[in-house]
Amino acid sequence: MNSAALFQALGWLRERLANRVADPPRFENSYYPIICGMLTTAFPVENGFLVKPQCILRDSVSNHRGHHPHTSVDSFGDEVLPEKTLYGRSIEAQLLIPDYIVAEFTSNLTNDTIVCLVEIKTSPDPEELPVYEKQVKGYQASMKTKRQSPIATTLLCTGGETSVWKRRPGPAKEWAKQAGAIETCGRPFWNILMDLASHA
pLDDT tens-digit profile of 55-97? 988 877 766 655 555 677 888 888 777 665 555 555 555 679 9
Tell me which residue of 124, 117, 118 sits closest to 158, measured CA to CA.
124
Q: Are 181 and 147 in contact (CB under 8 A)?
A: no
Its pTM stands at 0.86
- Count of beta carbons in the 10 Å neighbourhood of residue 151: 14
User: pLDDT digits over 168-191, tens only?
Assistant: 988 888 999 999 999 999 999 999
